[in-house]
Structure 1
Amino acid sequence: MTETAAEMPVYMRRSTFTPDPDLARIREEQGVRRVSTSFGIDVWMVTRFADVREVLGDPARFSNARQPGHRPPGAPEFSDDEVRRMRAGNLLMFDPPEHTRLRRMLTPEFTMRRMRRLEPRVKDIVTAHLDAMEAAGPPADLVSAFALPIPSLVICELLGVPYEDRDDFQRRSGTTLDLSLPVDQRVAAQLESRAYMTELVGRALKDPGDDLLGMLVREHGDDLSADELIGIGGLLLLAGHETTSNMIGLGTLALLRHPEQLDLLREEPERWGAAVEELLRWLSIVHSGTFKVTTTDVEVAGVRIPEGELVVCVLPAANRDPALVPDPDRLDVSRGEMGHVAFGHGVHHCLGAPLARMEMGMAFPALFERFPGLREEGPPAEFRSFNIVYGLTSLPVAW
């Protein structure tokens, strides 16, 4: 399967930073529309900000745990026990109260207080990669030299994953998230990732360290099965580097292509916190998050959706809703925090949001301070579109 707009669902289509214009029309005219995906499955798209918040905030009617009852064409068939084991520990696959039980064990590790304790180490990691870029000299690929390794190293240290394994887990996660690939190839990568995490959890059970996996074994070992530890570790490793690295790469490109916004940040660096929030809103790199399944007949934006249907919340459309901010298609780093849904909303609001904000809040200003002449140079930046996480595969730069 090739990566073309014709094969891509409308909620994933973009032109550089801009979502498909059809999404804005659907948001303005209907709000909700049933569409077919490239996998032969129909879903109900929810596009308005208020409606997206309603769906994300109501796990009783819009379930993450309920199974849709059909498999994508080409997907392998697993037994009920295999499915149960592969879902175990993955917070995105559960509703309260099971979701609440799992999340409660992890929340203390992602508080702002815990993030402040990590700040010196993250600063060291950012500085080391800037030093390496400067020593090597231009040109450089910002993705491979800066945007990808920083979140990868941070999540590796947090989880207790050997950083020397990064090439393999980055390859597996890239395959898992690439929706242009055949389903069986993506599932094979998921199974490889699970086997890898099984090995790491086995080590932690024998000799728990000071990392997050070790903490879970020491403090919650009686409450978590090995399968749950594997699921938790796998989700955090995947989400912990893929999302933030793509935000750093894509956010850098957005600022380079909006020099007036970058000039404002240079003149008033106290705006960087607000700039991170605006980049999160404007880029909305996660197209939709996890699909929901209706547990009863529901009505959204005046549209009736029957029980047992798949619902997708289109985050880029919601975050560019004029009901959220005026002139929503304009990047404006002076807006500040607007309550966007780039991190989701409700019980599944991104657990790692404080970590991602902290990493971006350090990486962006440090990058532009070190290289005030940073610019695109060489082949054009390569976007990856048909992917669960939107972003760049490369960004050639010089300074």
Structure 2
Amino acid sequence: MPLKEESGHEEDDVEDSQDSDTGRLLIRHQLVESVIEFCEEESDTDEDCDTSELFGKNSVVKSNLLDSKIQLEDSRVQKVDNVVKIKQYDLGHHFDPRITTSLNKFSKLRKLAADSSKASKSWTDTDCVRAVQTSFKRRGVSPHYSDLITNETISKRFIDWHFITENSQFQELSIESTLYGEREELMRRYPTLESLLMSFGVSGDTLDSLASEKYLLTSRREIDTLCQISPVDSMLEAFAYYLGTSDQFIKYFICFVLDRKIYESMSCDSLWCTKIFNKISHDKFLQEYFTLVHPQDYFLHHRIIKLIGNIQTPLIRRTFFEENCLSDEKATEILVTEFNNLFDKRRLQDLLYFVLSIYGSEFLPFGPSPATQYFKDCVDDLFNASTSDVELSLIGGILGVIMKMPS
């Protein structure tokens, strides 16, 4: 009987060892976590948490606990002199061996960007920016605007003809003078057309240069001085009163309406300009115009055509045709020759305004034509070879629209 009881006891022990392995591991894991939490709470007062008393010197639990404690201590390592203690480990295929090289390149790039932004400008750039800022008549202009103008050297979109460059001193007429002799009051304040223009903000140097320099509107292109100007509608009304009072009226009229500030205003429209144009000699107008504007300045040709529509055909005839009577084929041939000249020299901006100026005239009307198809083929071929020129894209689009117009 004793042997039987002893045997049964052994079977119970075997069953306990097999069934409770998982439970013992869970208990041990929970015990380790409890001790770790206890050590963390008592770390400020009791740094030497002796775990040998709890688990013994050779306990596996003690080993696991010490490993966890080491990890906690590593996580509490403070940064000293921007040095961080890094634990080496293997990520296997998750680690990219090129990351170090990439980070080094990125650091060098950031340093290069910082150094370039802090680099001092050359004396030439500094002088240009200072000259631009000095030309402004308005105070408090942002330096970013000055830098933008200085750095824009390709499109020249900030360069234009400016007749008015000084702050306006023009005094608008009161309501009483409007009702009772407005013109007489205006003539009393400004006896001559020159005095009126100077009150608008035209400098005396510009007025003197008009009498001595040729093609002044083409050669004297400058940035906007941001001067203060009077309301454009008031200036147009006052300017019209001096029609017939000065031999220089036509010349001043051309300079005035081609000023970018006046041209882009809502008041200076085709109706007002055509009304003045019809009251003066057309031949005298063209004669004065070509003393101020170069014959190949298609930029201003396009501007004056937009302001005075019925001047397009006389202006094109005066520009390209020495003979008044030419066949349509001969006139088209001359225009195609000028197109080829601008196209071969890659004067694309001039080519753009040339196309805008000649179409719609009696020499090259809207609608499909062999000349228009030839222009479009040339532009498309060059555009396919070089897509960086914005003018080519614009010219190609304009010619495409013209081809679809009814003739």
TM-score normalised by L of structure 1: 0.19
Q: Which structure has more helix as a fraction of its residues? A: 2
Larger radius of gyration: 2
Bigger fraction of residues in strand: 1
Q: How does the TM-score come out when normalised to structure 2? A: 0.19
